[in-house]
Every structure is written in structure tokens, then in C-alpha cells.
Structure 1
Amino acid sequence: MNVTFIAHSAFLVEWDKFYTLFDYTYEPDYTGALPELSGDKPLLVFSSHSHEDHFDAKVFTLLEKYPGARFFVSRDTRLTERKRQWLNISDAAFARTTVLRPDSILLTDVAGEDLSIRAIKSTDIGNAYLLRCEGKMVYHGGDLNWWDWKSEGEAYCNNMAAHYRAAIEKLAAAVENEATDNAIAPEITAAMAPLDPRLGEGSEGLGIEELMRQIKVQHVFPMHMWKKYEVIDRYLAAHPAQKDAIARITREGESFVI
């Protein structure tokens, strides 16, 4: 498996038989170069929610270059017929689009392999995604995070903590269920999760810390870092035992073979 950090929260994951592209956008502040893809492997494109740093209607134009592409979007994108016309989303692309409600499960197939897609309700809007295929599980958090904004007050922070822990408990249960049903290890191979330096030291790492506490994760790829990659070093200084699990992303376009 190859994981490429494109920019901000956008990742390309190359599986044995297909690709998954998460939260790719063409917005100048959040975009990066999309690697060339093999035409032999199908492309699945995921958008976690409607914020401009995670969703861009231009991703549907990927169908022109990759005719077999399929698209998976969150319900809050609200792609009504009128909105699709306004955004210039073609009928052909929308026909290959699945809208995923929070806490839904989709069983489908890709390149002859069974694929499970679970949408986990975010603590912000939209979904996080847990995918199971080829004996592996991959997680993209979208904006599902422990948003410990101290400026919002104690009540907000306590409520956020409870909601995030509950969401990760739900994710942990999903991992266990997928493992049991498919006779695979109860672990996530690759998890892409927010590590947002805007939260400040002491708060920025809470989300990944709780994810790692509840679930066995082989490789964690921090995202939503606003190009401040030094936040990874701060996190590792506070969590040295996780040094082998946390990817030290240093630039856009960096790839990791796992």
C-alpha cells in the first residue's frame, strides 16, 4: 500500500487493485499535485464534507481523465439538481456518485474485491470514512476531531470531549465488527487524522491521542496541519512511544510505502 500526502487533508491511497482519493480540492490554499494514476486501477473519490478545504465540485471532472471513477460524498454537500447545474457537475459524473449519510454502511465491489465503506458522523459536519478491502482497513477522519477550542468555554469543551470519545468508540466497534466478519486483524492499517496546530499545545494532539488509545493503528498520517509540519514533532515529543506509528510528513506530495 502506498499513501501520498497531497496537501492539507487530501491523500491518495494506492491499494493492490485500486486507488482511493480523499478530500481533494483545487482551491489554491489547499491543493497539491495529483500523482499520475495507472489506468489499470479504478479510482474512488471521497469527500468527507462540504467545507471548501475538503470538497470541490471540480473533482467530478476527474471522470473525464479516469472514465471508471466513482464518487462518494457526504449528505451535507446537498447536490440537488439546481446546485449541480450551478456547480457544473455533469449528469454522467453524478450518475456515478453515492451520497453517504452519517453512520451508514455501504457494501460494494471494486476490481473484483468486496469493499465495505462506513461513514462515521463527524464532530463538525459530514463524515469520517472507514474502508475495508483486501484484508486491510483504512480510515480518513475528515473533520472528525477533538476540537478543543478553549475560547468557546468549559461547557463547549466538555461536550466536545464526550462527543469525540463516543465517535471513536463507534469507530472502534466498526473496526471490531469488520475484523470479526472478515477474519482479519482488528486494526487500522492507515489512519489519516487531524493534527491542527490552531488548537494550541495541549489540545492539538487530543484527537490522535484518543484514536490511538482506543484502536490499534499501524500507521497514522497527520493532516489539517495548515503547512505547519512541526506540529508532528511536538506531538511526538509528548508521545515518544508512538514514534514508529506516526508518519513524519514534511512536505506536500510526500509518499509512504507501508
Structure 2
Amino acid sequence: MKIFHLHHSGFLIQLEDKTLIFDCFTHIPTSLLRKGIPHFFFVSHGHGDHYNVDIFSTNRIYHPTYIISDDIPKASTHKTHAIGPYQHMSLGGMDIKTFGSTDQGISFYIATNSHRIFHAGDLNWWDWDTSEKPNIDPIQEEKDFKAELEKMKSLPMEFAFIPVDPRLGDSFYKAGQYFIETFHPKVMIPMHFRDEFGIIKQFKAKIGNTATVIPEFKERNVRIKNTWSLDN
């Protein structure tokens, strides 16, 4: 397994027999795409920092298939599967479960190739500063986030992609910390921070010692160094 950070919440995972691409809204270097290997695009919702209609222009030599949140207007009829929260589908050797979000769209849980992968999309503990967003109810935001995680507590977590959003100020770490304490994933990869890569180091310092590996990366379109195993 090879994991590449594309941008923001966009990631590309190369498995032996397939490539998974999550929430891509920027150009993917062709060096990361493999001819003759199926590429599965997962889109959690239609926000512009998670989705770009250009994904449907992917060359057919990469055998693209699209699994998109049903809040997105259908932009292609080519191997496109619209799916809502709390649904299940089997596709391409994958067992795919969807859960909800605390913003828009869905989150994905995927079992494939002996791996368990969770991509949160915009499922986050949105603990905004109420002086900036006076309409936000911080108590309800916490309840909504924790209630959504409760729905997946029986699932083993190996790789989890979780928002660590610097716009939340002093609360940027809450979702990631709670997720780690609840599920103890093998690897938690921070996301949803645009180009503020320093937030990863801040997050690790904030939560302290944990058995969960939190890899650091400092640029777009880069492979995330495998510090959790020797299988690469």
C-alpha cells in the first residue's frame, strides 16, 4: 500500500490491484496513475474543496469508476454510483459502507485487500468560535459528531483520514483526538488544512503520546512516508 497526499482532503491510495482516490479537486500527476489498473474515485460531497467535475475527464486507460455522494448532480453516466449515508455496496473487491457527516454529504468506510480505510469527508467536530459564527451551537456540534461516530463503533479502524482544521483555532485537535481515543486506529492521517502543513506537528504535540501513528508530510502530491510497517 502506498498513500499519496494530493491536496487538502484529497488522497490517492495505491493497492496492488487498484487505486483509490478520495475527494480530489486538483490535478492528479499522471505519474501517480497506473495504466490498466482500475481507479476508484470517492467523493464525499459537492463542496468545491472536495469535488471537481474534472475527475470525469480521467482517461479511460485508467479504468475510472466513481462513487459519489448523492448530493452531487450527476455529471457523468460512465460507471458512476451515487450513494447516500448509511448504505452498503460491494464493488471491485471492496466492501463499502457509508456514514453521515456533520456538514454535507457522507463519509466512507472501505474494507479491501485486508485493509480497513475510513475517510471522514466533512465529518468533523465543528467547534467554531461563536464570536465568528454566532449561529453555531457548540454543544450540539459536539453531540452530533460523537453520535455519528457511535454508529460505527463496532468497526475496526486501520487507516483513518480525519479533519484537523486550523480555522477552528484552539479546537482544531478535538475531532482527531476523540477519534483516536475511540477507535485507536493504526494510522491517523490529518486532512482539511489546505497548505497549512504545520498543523500536523501542532496536532501531534497537542495530543501527546499515542500508539496511533500520525505521519507528517509537507507538500502536495507527495507520498506519505510509511512509518507504520516494513511492507513497502
Q: TM-score, normalised by structure 2?
A: 0.90
Amino acid at match of 1:107: S
Q: Tell whether 2:159 aligns with 1:159.
A: no
Displacement of 1:37 in angstroms is 2.0
- 2:30 & 2:214 partners in 1: Cα distance? 23
Give the whole-Å Cα distance in 2 for the aligned partners of 1:33 and 1:145: 29
2:37 maps to what in 1?
41
The match for 2:164 is 195
For 1:19 and 1:100, the matched residues in 2 are separated by 20
- Structure 2 residue aligned with 1:72, among 67, 72, 97? 67
Q: Does 1:227 align with 2:208?
A: no
Q: Which amino acid aligns with 1:156?
A: D
Q: Which of the numbers 94, 99, 102 marks the counterpart of 2:82? A: 99
Aligned residue for 1:170? 151
- Does the CA-based 8 Å contact 1:48-1:54 persist in structure 2? yes
Structure 2 contact 173–206 (Cα < 8 Å) conserved: no
AA paired with 2:105? G
Aligned residue identity for 2:162 = A
Does 2:210 match 1:242?
yes
Q: 1:155 to 1:255 in 2, by over 3 A?
A: closer
Alpha-carbon separation, structure 2, partners of 1:155 and 1:5: 31
- Counterpart Cα distance in 2 of 1:128 and 1:70: 18
Is the CA contact 2:188–2:212 (under 8 Å) kept in the aligned structure 1?
A: no
After TM superposition, give the deviation of residue 132 of structure 1 in Å.
0.2
The residue that corresponds to 1:254 in the other structure is 222
> Structure 1 residue 44: deviation in Å?
0.4
Q: Which runs of 4+ in 1 moved over 6 A?
A: none
For the residues of structure 1 that align with 2:12 and 2:53, how far apart are their CA atoms? 18
The residue type paired with residue 117 of structure 1 is I
| Superposition deviation, residue 46 in structure 1 | 0.6
Root-mean-square deviation (CA), in Å?
A: 1.9
Deviations 1:114-148 (A, max 9, x none): x1111110000001101001111011111110010
- Name the one with the larger helix percent: 1
Distance 1:231 1:129 in 2: 24
Unmatched 5+ stretches in structure 1: 176-185
Task: Give the superposition deviation at 1:207.
Answer: 0.7
Measured at CA, do residues 207 and 244 of structure 1 come closer, stay the same or move farther in structure 2, by a change above 3 Å? Answer: closer
1:41 shift after superposition: 2.0
SS in 1 for 2:209: helix
Provide the C-alpha distance between the structure 1 equivalents of 2:167 and 2:7, rounded to a whole number of angstroms: 17
Residue in structure 2 matched with residue 117 of structure 1 by the alignment:
96
Identity across the alignment (%)? 24
Specify whether residues 149 and 35 from structure 1 end up closer, same or farther in structure 2 by C-alpha distance, changes over 3 A only.
farther
CA contact (8 A) 1:24 1:55 kept: yes
Distance 1:147 1:155, change over 3 A: closer
What count of residue pairs does the alignment treat as equivalent? 224
